[in-house]
Amino acid sequence: MSRSTFYITTPIYYPSDNLHIGHAYTTVAADAVARFKRLMGYDVYFLTGADEHGQKIERAAQAKGKKPKEYVDEIVLGFKDLWARLLVDYSDFIRTTEERHRLVVQQIFERLYEQGDIYKAAYEGWYCTPCETFWTLRQLVEGNCPDCGRPVELLQEESYFFRLSKYAARLLAHIQEHPDFIQPVSRRNEMVNFIKSGLEDLCVSRTTFSWGIPVPFNPRHVVYVWVDALTNYISALGYARVNDALFKKYWPADVHLVGKDIVRFHTIIWPIILMAAGVELPKRVVGHGWLLLDGGKMSKSKGNVVDPHQLIDRYGADAVRYYLLRELPFGADGSYSEGNLISRINSDLANDLGNLLHRTLTVLSKFGGGVVGPPGVPEETDRELIELARDLPGRVALLVDNLELSEALGVVWQLVNRANKYLDETAPWNLGKDPVKRDRFNTVMYNVLESYRFITVLLAPFMPGFPDRVWPQLGIAARPELHSFASLTWGRFPPGVSVERGTPLFPRIETEK
């Protein structure tokens, strides 16, 4: 029997500068979902990449005296380095400057032109160079770009246009028939209203610069960057190529994870390109909120960015990943501050999670010689802990399916907190002193160790470096069959293994008073 497939993507990032913590959030979130699905046994394909064309790149390269390709090559190395440092395990990294991508974009463009969905016309509009977007006079805000607020210039050119309007009714029907297509609901409503207000045909070629994919039948024009970029989700799978095995296997995508600012491109332009090309639509487009800094959006053009490398140097990849995934509730914005990051590390990771293991192993070493005996008959307080643990895998899996990652971590922490409280209630440090209570002592120790095994398995997708530090301490490093999602049935922790107390998993961060 073949395994179910799961295809998840991040947006491909624009290498006009280095990445910031907001990009890291999107990629780490997609990675956590991909890892969780793999843990559950899915055949997962996880795609990320770089969107390398456009006037901004051309100009940035010029300013540095470099050829555009030379310029993006360096930045893309930096992307890959950051993903490696954040323990991101993607299946493929697509670059829009690759031939495998260019050929697919040109093929789709040509097909749409031949069938009359793309046509040539004169065009005049107000152009914002940093945003690479044309605006109508009506859309300008006080004469400036409505997105970035910068001055725009009036440009006139002969362009190719894509008949978005022709597909508007079909797209609306699709959104209505597939309530999960756009998430969260607030974004879906926004998009529905946007489409109902009327779609204008989209200008899909440029002659003002040359750093792009040439229109195959008129190479004076290059393909509009969004049409170019969005196509990565299928070009990476070999769509319309001789070897399209990946496309056949993984398309349609299960999730396109994107920031809320680009939901519109992914739920209007992209599905209409696919409809016109006769390709199935992705199952879900999920728009997440922003990580706000001092109340405003982090952006390269504003210069208020946080360098993820510094945070990884200071706190480690697992802690940075945990913070990002915990801090942004599904669909809403979160706010970034290093103070919040430090307090998450100190309270959630050092105090709750790390200390739970540390105190358990300390008691077991002192009173049990580091070996847990088989558990006895459970009491009421044990049953409460065990039931919470038993329900956990299903609850977490459901939340991850819904991309509710912060909520999923919150549910794992219910068990972390319950186990800490259980230790306080049962006081094994007293039980351990009394030979008559040896059975009870073993039961308590066993239940906490087994809970910790559940916690560690479920946290692996969120903090991939964490389990490797826990398993040796629990004495089951050489037992991979106990590290799997499928192993999460209560009572599989093997009595008789020797635990080994290590250094604290997450040392507290001392801050100046």
| Integer Cα distance of 440 and 366 in angstroms | 16
The binding site for Zn ion (CB under 5 A) comprises: 128, 131, 145, 147-148
Minimum distance of Zn ion from residue 59's CB (angstroms): 14
Question: How big is the chain by its Cα radius of gyration, in Å?
Answer: 26
| Integer Cα distance of 104 and 235 in angstroms | 6
Count CB atoms within 10 A of the CB of residue 414.
14
* Maximum C-alpha span of the chain: 92
Which residue is associated with the tokens 């998450």? 344
In three-state secondary structure terms, 445 is helix
For residue 184, whether the previous peptide bond is cis, meaning omega lies within 30 degrees of 0, is yes
What is the torsion angle, in degrees rounded to the nearest 10, for the CA atoms of residue 462, residue 465, residue 467 and residue 468? 170
Minimum distance of Zn ion from residue 295's CB (angstroms): 21
| Integer Cα distance of 345 and 28 in angstroms | 17
Of residues 144 and 210, the one with the C-beta less far from Zn ion = 144
Label residue 361 exposed, middle or buried (CB < 10 Å: 0-12, 13-18, 19+).
buried
Minimum distance of Zn ion from residue 125's CB (angstroms): 13
| Integer Cα distance of 195 and 279 in angstroms | 21
Minimum distance of Zn ion from residue 421's CB (angstroms): 52
Minimum distance of Zn ion from residue 320's CB (angstroms): 30
Minimum distance of Zn ion from residue 300's CB (angstroms): 13
Of residues 130 and 331, the one with the C-beta less far from Zn ion = 130
| Integer Cα distance of 484 and 457 in angstroms | 7
Minimum distance of Zn ion from residue 128's CB (angstroms): 3
Of residues 86 and 128, the one with the C-beta less far from Zn ion = 128
Q: Are strands 5-9 and 43-50 parallel, antiparallel or unpaired?
A: parallel
Minimum distance of Zn ion from residue 57's CB (angstroms): 16
CA 138 to chain centre: 35
Of residues 83 and 127, the one with the C-beta less far from Zn ion = 127
Of residues 147 and 439, the one with the C-beta less far from Zn ion = 147
Are residues 213 and 228 in contact, defined by beta-carbon separation less than 8 angstroms?
yes
| Integer Cα distance of 273 and 131 in angstroms | 21
Residue of 299, 287, 401 lying closest to 333 (CA atoms): 287
Of residues 147 and 244, the one with the C-beta less far from Zn ion = 147
Minimum distance of Zn ion from residue 135's CB (angstroms): 8
Of residues 131 and 411, the one with the C-beta less far from Zn ion = 131
Of residues 142 and 512, the one with the C-beta less far from Zn ion = 142
Residue of 292, 358, 362, 400 lying closest to 506 (CA atoms): 358
Minimum distance of Zn ion from residue 130's CB (angstroms): 5
Of residues 34 and 128, the one with the C-beta less far from Zn ion = 128
What is the torsion angle, in degrees rounded to the nearest 10, for the CA atoms of residue 499, residue 505, residue 510 and residue 511? -150
Angle formed at CA 396 by CA 41 and CA 455, multiple of 5 degrees: 90
Of residues 278 and 303, the one with the C-beta less far from Zn ion = 303
| Integer Cα distance of 207 and 161 in angstroms | 13
Minimum distance of Zn ion from residue 206's CB (angstroms): 15
Cα end-to-end span (Å), the chain: 60
Of residues 145 and 269, the one with the C-beta less far from Zn ion = 145
Q: Residue 69 phi/psi, 5° resolution?
A: -65, -40
